[in-house]
Structure 1
Amino acid sequence: MFNKKLLAVLVVLALTAHSNDALFCLSCTATVSPRHCHTLQKCEDGKVCFTQRYSGINGEVLYDTGCHTPSICSKRTTQHLVKSLSHNPAYPHTEQCVECCSSDACNHKGCGSPDYPTRRGPLCFNCQQSVDPTFCSSVQVCDENEICHLHEEVEFGESIFVQSCSQKHICDSGSPYVFGKRSTERCLKCCNSDLCNGECAAVTTTTTTTTTTTTLPTTTLQYSSPFDCWEIFHNGFNTTGIYQIYPWGPGKKSIDVLCNMDVDPKGWTVFQWRHPLTENFTRNWEEYKNGFGNVSGEFWLGNEVLHLLSTAHPTQFYIGISSTNGGSWYEKFDNMTVASESDNYRITLGNASGTAGDHSTQIDHAGGMNTLQFSTYDRDNDANPNSCAANYKGGWWFNYCHYVFLNAARGFSYAETIYSNRISNMSSFNSSILMITRMY
């Protein structure tokens, strides 16, 4: 019979024979299942991942997970009274199982506990703010239509890194909704394997093109303080992404915007993006004026910026929508302007073309938004004796009240149209994008 001590030694050798890269293990105490642990621990050299199943003081089945020396792997699994092996021992318990493994987050299913669902996205780092993406210790299993996302934001001159799950089409290079670098010094990464968003990919400013870097021109920029995404594009930046613009003029404050470089004629400044409809769009006048949300997620850029951009040059307006059943449509409008706050950000639209249908310039007793002023729940400028914005929970260019309303609140209970003849209600509303560019 095979010697049990020799078997234990072989187990230890096998578990420590993986690569020299740092090992990451789920690390939680007294969870109902290892797969519900959302904390990741970077193990010291020579340690492995463990899962321990035991009965708590009330007889419930609990699990501890974390990093440990391989000596734990030779422990017998017969029941005996021990203290917790985790970093926070609290009380004695009856141990039932100890298992070890040696790959990242492999202890999410130890000791007979359920595995992650078969249909799922990757396991991603999930931190809303960190000064270094390698410091993130929180993780999340993405939905099957999501990927891992990492990007850098700059606030008050300091870099902040955001790691999360994001929709696949946001990072699809063939999609008009892909996010990208604000500049060659910023970080963005989209990937589809477990724990792949733990650090930034390399960025280069040379003229050599690779599959993992964005190549930018080395010549002097035509617009040193770009006014909009049209000027960003004409500076040679042809990748959709997050950039800085100066709508108040050179030397004045800048803002971060999402520039779409995929939809012709390119150089689109995105001022609304919605998906997966988690951002609160029930906002007051000041919030719609100044903007809200995050340009790396869902947002409204702000009516004041929209006024500045749309009145400086002849402007084209783009609406893109999609439904939960897979349909997608767009509509373009020539000669779009948004007036100043003194005229309540009145919108004017010209000729329309596209696949969604022109339900914006058509004005009658019920809907259409052309030539109408903007309304919010605290500033009613619509034609209805009641407040459309208060009733329908979102700011818009309401008439009496709308044929198109893309700022409706999630969970919107009214059976009103989101986009006439295309999206009948919020339950079938998947995404929207509103953006502008210069006509020439």
Structure 2
Amino acid sequence: MQEVELGGVAGPFDEKPMSQWRSSPIGVIPKKDGNLSRDKNTLAKSGASSDTRRVPLKAIDSEVDRLIKLSVATNTRGAYELALRSLRQFQEEYQLDTCEQAITRKMTDLKSSDHEHEICRECCHGNMCNNKGCGDDAYRSCDDHFKVGRLKSGVYTISPDDVNTFDVYCDMENGDGGWIVLQRRFNGLVLFNRSFAEYENGFGELYGEFWIGLKKMHILAHSSRKVKFNLQALNGTWLPLEYNSFYISNASQQYTLHVSNHTNGFCAESFEYNNGKVFSTYDRDSRGCAASRFGGFWYNGCTYLNINGHFGLLNDESGVIEHRFYSGYVNFQKTIMMIQ
């Protein structure tokens, strides 16, 4: 049994009856009566021995085990954080130096077990190294992360179904929950005129410009989702475009687009014009639109909205634009496509 030294404390935990254990988050801290006080004067008055005794960590270990297993069962890291806070409280009251070591050891033991995939993936000194929390495999979307208080945009891990787990960029700062970003452009450093295979698998970096990939897009939106475009014009104005229904078919149907129920921005035809069309790139382009518009998209004949076009090309249908015959071009310097 592993033990820690408590100067001036008489008796191990399991020698005290339950009535002598006070309530605490970890439930294993004995009451501070005369025999358990760290004050030598009090010990002398009570007649208790001031000899150093060793207190086993068995009770702490079992409680940490319970709390961590609870975090797995509830798919939150709250229980893990509770265990850490409890150990720190114990450390402060009884001047221990094994707080973080104890919980880190327990986390290490559990991570090496058969349940590794259920435990926090990244830990450092008892704290999460990044936005990934315990039980991240239970978060189906960015909105799930948002609902538990993760309000900062960034890269999070989600498991949209029982098979797939991967990182996505979550936009948390729109004021209406968390959104999974499918496409983002803002500096033109990533080339978007790419092959079908590249559009299928995705390219770029989640913290930079990127296309998430049609395979992941189908996993995320094989059934109806809301889709939103945030499009920044050259004058800095953000122009929204939103639809309440968006999903895409699988690879055998060349990721056919299904979009409807326009709710905000431009007009419904901006993106609904592309409804029912397969995804095309320069090497799989029956209409010739991918080649002329410099990027992959769901082309009809060809498109009003060209978010994957030639970055920086102004007032041209091949640029990053929204084009209406009656109103001309709207050039964009930043584009974000996301779903919820």
Q: What interval of TM-score do these two structures reach, taking the shorter chain for normalisation? A: 0.5 to 0.7
Query: CA–CA distance in 2 between the matches of 1:353 and 1:333?
Result: 5
Structure of greater Rg: 2
How far off is 1:230 after superposition? 2.5
Residues 271, 305 of structure 2: 8 Å contact kept: no
Residue in structure 2 matched with residue 402 of structure 1 by the alignment: 303
Seen in structure 2, the aligned counterparts of structure 1 residues 423 and 342 have a Cα distance that, compared at 3 Å, is farther
AA at the equivalent of 2:280: S
> What is the match of residue 308 of structure 1?
219
Inter-partner Cα distance in structure 2 for 1:356 and 1:230: 26
Q: Could you tell me which runs of 5 or more consecutive residues in structure 1 were left unpaired when the two chains were aligned.
A: 1-182, 188-201, 206-212, 363-367
1:266 aligns with 2:169: no
Deviations 1:236-281 (A, max 9, x none): 422221111234635x5x3221111122431210010000122100
Aligned to 1:295: 206
Partner of 1:249: 162
Identity within the alignment, %:
29
Between the aligned partners of 1:392 and 1:431, the Cα distance in structure 2 is: 17
Instruction: Report 1:23-422 matches (<5 A).
Output: 224-247=137-160, 249-250=162-163, 252=164, 254-312=165-223, 314-362=224-272, 368-381=273-286, 384=287, 387-410=288-311, 412=313, 415-416=316-317, 418-421=321-324
Between structures 1 and 2, the one with greater helix share: 2
**Residue aligned with 2:305, SS:** coil
1:12-54 Cα offsets, whole Å, 9 max, x none, are: xxxxxxxxxxxxxxxxxxxxxxxxxxxxxxxxxxxxxxxxxxx
Residue 414 of structure 1 and its aligned partner are, at CA, apart by 7.8
- Within 2, Cα distance between the matches of 1:302 and 1:235? 27
Amino acid at match of 2:159: Y
CA-to-partner distance for each residue in 1:112-147, whole Å, 9 max, x for gaps?
xxxxxxxxxxxxxxxxxxxxxxxxxxxxxxxxxxxx
Query: In 1, distance between residues paired with 2:289 and 2:184?
Result: 22
Query: How far apart are residue 361 of structure 1 and its match?
Result: 4.6
Contact 2:137–2:157 (8 Å) recurs in 1: no
What amino acid does structure 2 have at the position aligned with 1:232? Answer: H
1:230–1:266 contact (8 Å) kept in structure 2: yes
Maintained 8 Å contact 1:423/1:429? no
* Counterparts of 2:237 and 2:173, CA distance in 1: 20
> Displacement, 1:394?
0.4
Secondary structure of residue in 2 paired with 1:257: strand
Q: 1:412 to 1:280 in 2, by over 3 A?
A: same
Question: How many Å separate the matches in 2 of 1:281 and 1:235?
Answer: 35
* Count of equivalent residues: 217
- Tell me how large the CA RMSD over aligned residues is: 3.3
Q: 1:184 & 1:267 partners in 2: Cα distance? A: 22
Partner residue of 1:429?
Answer: 332
Q: Which residue of 2 aligns with 1:112?
A: none
Which has the bigger relative contact order, CA under 8 A and spacing at least 6?
2
Query: Deviation at 1:372?
Result: 1.3
Distance in 2, matches of 1:430 and 1:348, equals 26
